[in-house]
Amino acid sequence: MYDQITDVPGVKVGNKENQQALTGCTAILFEGGAVAGVDVRGSAPGTRETDLLNPINLVEKVHAICLSGGSAFGLDAASGIMKFLEEQEIGLDVGVAKVPIVPAAVLFDLPIGDPKVRPDIQMGYEAANAATAEKFSTGNFGAGCGATAGKLAGLGFCMKGGLGSASLTLENGVVIGAIVAVNPVGDVREPSTGEILAGPFKNGIILDSIKLLEQNYQATIPAGSNTTIGVIAVNADLTKAEATKVAQMAQDGYARTIFPAHTMFDGDTIFAVATGGERIPVDVIGGLAAKVMERAIINAVKSADSAGGIIAHKDLPKNQ
């Protein structure tokens, strides 16, 4: 077990990034298909194929999910994942073709690195081609390559976000896993202690974003220029409606670690997928999904490296 979403049977993850331009994408593959739901809680989302996941709609299973940087431009990466899966003859059989179903969500990383370089079809294809069921890199990889956190004092004072993952195994062998690209306007905090791990870093200290709000602080960044995007996976049997509920409950993991979460500056989105197995109560999966998502968010921040002049948690002065 790797303490990652790839501990869930039927899940593979591949990353591709441009470390100079500081952007990238992550392909999460379910080659056998997976029932999926989604919850979009932030007010500035960039998504693809989320309407399809509504329980009233026809398609039952997805074959991959794409998490990407590049703002709305980064949605192109999902087409690269589709191309890869079609070559493997994986997709919804419509007679004349097999159509891979690949929902996607993007985050805004354009101000970091080179804004003219964004995840595209080629990068998405390469991420899918690199997908593995084994341990993968976190921090400045995939969709977390250009992610940042703590921007209420302005982009010039943010800290490095990143890609994170975690998993939890129940006594009956059911595994719940999470992967997340952490790029919020708010702080990221350790839930058990309240310690701010990443936030506005100014004059050698991390500012408290909630206190900035109490001072009626007016952020100097554009609305919609952030977003935390993630996936919950479980090897259990869920309906689309149940997967949607799990995605909703997993948003609690955002709220326990990101202050503030779900703002007008963010497009916070969580997908939940079930690769099949035994029936487990939705409240069990959803409640634990929030816990696993918390740990994935903390992993993202703690594994990130300083880049583009932006300090990471691991490089903070010792008194932090």
Domain with 240 in it: what CATH number?
3.60.70.12
The answer to whether the beta carbons of residues 171 and 4 sit under 8 Å apart is no
In this prediction, residue 317 has a pLDDT band, given cuts at 50, 70 and 90, of: confident
Residue 117 gets the label, from left (phi > 0), alpha (psi -120 to 50) or beta, of beta
- In the numeric block, the tokens 């100014």 are attached to 202
Strands 269-274 and 196-198, bridge-based pairing: unpaired
Query: Per mean pLDDT, which range of 60-69, 217-226, 246-255 is the poorest?
Result: 217-226
Q: How far apart are CA 42 and CA 260, in angstroms?
A: 11
195-215 residue pLDDT tens: 999 999 998 999 999 999 998
Tokens of 275: 């690769």
Cβ atoms within 10 A of the Cβ of 37, count? 26
User: Is 41 inside a domain boundary?
Assistant: yes
Closest CA to 229 of 206, 258, 199: 258
Question: 217 or 93: which carries more pLDDT confidence?
Answer: 93
Predicted local confidence at residue 319, as pLDDT: 58
Model pTM score = 0.96
Task: Please compute the mean of the pLDDT values over residues 237-241 and round it to a whole number.
Answer: 97
Predicted local confidence at residue 43, as pLDDT: 86
Closest CA to 60 of 188, 225, 287, 242: 242
Report how far Cα 206 is from the mean position of its chain's Cα atoms: 24
User: Is 320 inside a domain boundary?
Assistant: no
Q: How far apart are CA 163 and CA 146, in angstroms?
A: 10
Q: How far apart are CA 196 and CA 53, in angstroms?
A: 35
143-177 residue pLDDT tens: 999 999 999 988 889 999 999 999 999 999 999 99
Q: Which residues contact 123 (CB under 8 A, 6 or more apart)?
A: 16, 17, 18, 24, 25, 77, 80
Q: How far apart are CA 120 and CA 142, in angstroms?
A: 13
The answer to whether the beta carbons of residues 157 and 274 sit under 8 Å apart is no
User: Is 145 inside a domain boundary?
Assistant: yes
Q: How many domains does the chain have?
A: 1
Locate the DSSP E strands across the chain: 12-18, 23-40, 47-48, 61-68, 92-93, 98-99, 104-106, 148-149, 159-160, 162-169, 175-182, 187-189, 196-198, 201-202, 205-206, 229-234, 258-259, 269-274
Q: How far apart are CA 25 and CA 77, in angstroms?
A: 7
Predicted local confidence at residue 248, as pLDDT: 97
User: Is 19 inside a domain boundary?
Assistant: yes
Q: Is the pLDDT of residue 320 over 60?
A: no
Omega prior to 111 cis, within 30 of 0? no
Q: What value does the mean pLDDT of the chain take? A: 95
Q: How far apart are CA 92 and CA 97, in angstroms?
A: 8
Predicted local confidence at residue 225, as pLDDT: 79
Domain residues for the domain of 290 are: 5-315
Residue 221 gets the label, from left (phi > 0), alpha (psi -120 to 50) or beta, of beta
